[in-house]
Structure 1
Amino acid sequence: MPGATTPLHRTLNTATQDANNAAARKTCDNVWVPYDGKLLNCDEYPFASTEEGAAKGDGNYSARLIDAGDNQAAGRWLNSNYTLNRILDGDALSIAITP
């Protein structure tokens, strides 16, 4: 999975971010029809804020419905970490999962 052994790359390009979101939502729409987007959001990995997001076209992503509040809190957390760690547009980052 991208980010584990190969880095992700942050993008500030809103067109890329929107395309990543749309590609992930298409997956959620195909699997969990219908959902209203208010109580549940389509969450994706790699993040929509990376070049490696769902719209990259290689099919190497995951998307799933999760609680809207949890998804939005995670997005705020991710953005604050970009800022705190000075991860700028185009910068590489890796994701480490620790139990």
Structure 2
Amino acid sequence: MNWFFLILAGVFEMTGVALINKFNKTRNWKSFLLMTIGFALSFAFLSLAMITLPMGTAYAVWTGIGASGGAILGMVLYNESRSLLRIVCIGLVLTSAVGLKLVS
């Protein structure tokens, strides 16, 4: 269950990052509230995951999901660069997160 919580934390981290961009474009209370809820849920699920997972592993996987997911969402939703090198780097981050899971 702890890995499920960690994945949820990463998904909400991605959501929060995407909503930062939305908030910067619209600057309204609804965007701010959604962004805040996304990050609050991310931290809540990270905290639950860290009850049993080592802090270093949990934090690295959480940030890996958030960073990779944020970059992918940027490509899909905001037409950011889709260069091969960028995609390879995202793959490296995800591979590292999976590696940490395998050795933990």
Scaled by the length of structure 1, the TM-score of the pair is 0.35
Q: TM-score, normalised by structure 2?
A: 0.33
Task: Please identify which structure carries the higher helix content.
Answer: 2
Greater fraction strand: 1
- Which structure's CA Rg is the greater one? 2
Bigger relative contact order, structure 1 or 2 (CA pairs below 8 A, ≥6 apart) = 1
